[in-house]
Amino acid sequence: MYGDFLRNFGRSHIASIPFWTLGEDGKKGKMPRQCTYDYKIKVIERFVRRDLLGYKPHQRTLAPDIHAHRMHMGIMWEERRRAKPSKLTLFENRYPLVEMGWTRPMCYAYNWEAWGLETRASCCLFCPFHTNYFYQHIREWEPACYACALQVDELVETHEARPPLKSKLFLSRSRKRLRDLTPEDCGDAQTFLYRENLVWSGF
């Protein structure tokens, strides 16, 4: 997605990333999210259809395969509003973590206690749902990653989206350029309590 975005933003239509928006009149908004569908769900569907089931491109789905395959998705209890039925013919969506009522702290505790893994949220470097603290963190500890996010933020600043928009686009929830974020802006780290210690979620 990063490569597609750098090549195509401002030149052609690309998957919608949920950028934060700011209109000339000061009105704030958010773009819809299409990236999860285009770069995760559709990729899995294409692999299952072609590589596992042997369908040709554009071949009609046979009756025995309609909603006959379960897609397990790692959405947690806090995000249960995103747990929706599949729009794809092949799949029945299942959400094991939602079904078990598992929250992010519970997942963290399980991964640490069962496997010795200290896990954080999994998402793209330039996902607008990150906190400002995330960008401060990677600027200090992962400068190459920060440079990638900065490149995306500068691209949406200097190039016009296709189709054109009346609002400016931002990665930061504060609707500031990443280079302009101050330490005061970055006190929004998402944490949870684990064994009386605060753990950063990764957002």
What pLDDT was estimated at residue 20?
96
How many C-beta neighbours within 10 Å does residue 27 have? 10
Residue 106 clears pLDDT 90, i.e. is over it:
yes
Residue 16 clears pLDDT 90, i.e. is over it:
no
d(CA 86, CA 83): 9
Helices 143-158 + 132-141 axis angle, to 10: 130
Residue range(s) defining the domain that contains residue 87? 2-200
Nearest CA to 127 among 19, 42, 4? 19
pLDDT, tens only, 118-164? 998 888 889 999 999 999 999 999 999 999 999 999 999 999 888 88
Q: Could you give the dihedral angle defined by the CA atoms of residues 141, 142, 144 and 146, in that order, rounded to the nearest 10 degrees?
A: -90
Number of domains in the chain: 1
Nearest CA to 149 among 132, 167, 168, 166? 132
d(CA 37, CA 92): 15
d(CA 105, CA 83): 19
pTM for this prediction: 0.87
pLDDT, tens only, 62-99? 999 999 999 999 999 999 999 999 989 999 999 999 99
Residue 14 clears pLDDT 90, i.e. is over it:
no
Nearest CA to 16 among 28, 33, 29, 30? 33
Task: State the sign of the Cα–Cα–Cα–Cα dihedral 112, 115, 119, 123.
Answer: negative
pLDDT, tens only, 34-69? 888 899 999 999 999 999 999 999 999 999 999 999
Go through the chain and tell me how many residues it has.
203
What pLDDT was estimated at residue 29?
94
pLDDT interval class at 165 (50, 70, 90) = confident
d(CA 10, CA 164): 9
